Amino acid sequence: MLKTEDNERLTRVGRGTPMGALLRRYWHPALLSSEIPERDGPPVRVRLLGEDLIAFRDSKNRIGMIDAYCAHRRAPLFYGRNEDCGIRCVYHGWKFDVEGNCVDLPSLPADSPVKAKVHIKSYPAIDKAGVIWVYMGPADQEPPLPDYEWMRALPTHRHVAKNYQASNYLQALEGGLDTSHSSFLHNNVLGLKRNTVRNADVAPAIEVYPTQYGYQYVSVRKLNDEKRYVRVYQYIMPFQQMRGDISNDHGDRSKVPKIDGHFWVPIDDYQTITWSWMYGDDKTVPITPEFAEQDEKRAGRGRDDFVPGTFKLLSNLSNDHRIDRSLQKTTTFSGITGVQTQDVAIQEGMGAIPDRSKEFLVASDKAVIAMRRMMLEATYAVERGEEPPGLDPDSYRTVRPHDSVIPANVDWREAFAEQLVAKW
């Protein structure tokens, strides 16, 4: 169980909260590059860590991430005109550049000194690896730009997607770090579970190894007296999970060896954007659009699985995630279609923020417990004026996850020595 005050510390992300202060020390994915594809194109609403912003690409291809409201009378800049290196409010014509400076104030005389005093909130933002990244912390503590291995993969060998989730980020992150639930929630071959590596042993042995960037997390499942299935995850602070997906239960992917993972980025205390990425383990084999769509469909995030024009899944709380009780009785453990949809259903169904003081944790929760302790300690470190883990790309840029079936008498560290090192 978790103390109520610790649960509050972990889940509240707004400005002025301990977790809010911690999270604002990192670069975060804010939107897909494709959401603002053109210079002087329409601005896009962004809500991140409880703050309302708009994003736009200006005439010089710079990324603006500024306050969603005009400094004059708080008119919404979403309706503004993106023109000549700035957003012009359509209410009274005030114009702001990517740094939040008021560069034109036509409703006052040209020689008015007021313009120089007008400024709205703005954050540094960059376009990298198909994602718009934003830093929302103190200007004098801006960390180096992120450099995860998946970001270095060629665009033809990489795929990034996102979806909305009606819950706090923490239970989503916890789900991503909990390997034991895959034997149950993601058992999509009911009655044949002994034929899949993640279901042959439903009580994996789990170990957590702290690192400078977070931790390395290992689950070991005994398949028989001769073989074990070993899966090594990487947890990179504050909320990224990397996992191997070369050995899997979802069909033959031997022709497309890949690595994948997630970010769980808080919109606010009650909503999250789940970012999903994948990249090719082998530089010679691309992630084709057809393969990416096939994989997204398996997860429940295919093109037809979203409410049109949004990142909200059609399977959501309003329709009980379209659970099929007949399917649950005969075919799959959950009766919910889509691997990620299954996760979202459980995490949203817990309520926006679960009461963790009522939990009963066990040995299979080691990774979740370790993450909570690490995040809590990081909030105190920031309060002491120290740097939290995972800011320096040198600490994580060469790491990768891996999973495989290996002989029972072979140490996974030796077996995976080369596979856990980045190749891009």
Domain boundary among the residues 141, 158, 191 is at 141
pLDDT tens digits, one per residue of 397-410: 999 999 999 999 99
Cα→Cα distances 43→53, 74, 104, 307, Å = 10, 16, 18, 21
Distance CA(325)–CA(424), nearest Å, equals 44
Distance CA(28)–CA(48), nearest Å, equals 9
**CA neighbours within 13 Å on the CB side: how many for 344?**
32
Parent domain of 108: 31-141
Q: Closest Cα to residue 136, out of 55, 212, 69, 80?
A: 55
**Mean pLDDT lowest among 75-79, 107-111, 167-171:** 107-111
**Mean pLDDT lowest among 143-147, 246-250, 265-269, 411-415:** 246-250
Question: What is the average pLDDT value for the chain, to the nearest integer?
Answer: 94
Helices (H), 245-349: 289-299, 325-330, 339-349
Task: Say if residue 137 is in the same domain as residue 156.
Answer: no
- pLDDT for the residue 213: 98
What domain count does the chain have? 2
pLDDT category at 384 given cuts 50, 70, 90 is very high
Domain boundary among the residues 141, 164, 180 is at 141
pTM: 0.94
pLDDT tens digits, one per residue of 101-154: 999 999 898 888 898 999 999 999 999 999 999 999 999 999 999 999 999 999
- pLDDT for the residue 190: 76
Domain boundary among the residues 86, 111, 141 is at 141
Average pLDDT in the 98-102 region? 98
Task: Say if residue 52 is in the same domain as residue 104.
Answer: yes
- pLDDT for the residue 1: 81
- pLDDT for the residue 91: 97
Task: Say if residue 197 is in the same domain as residue 317.
Answer: yes
Tokens 């994996």 -> residue = 204
Distance CA(86)–CA(102), nearest Å, equals 9
Domain presence at residue 19: no
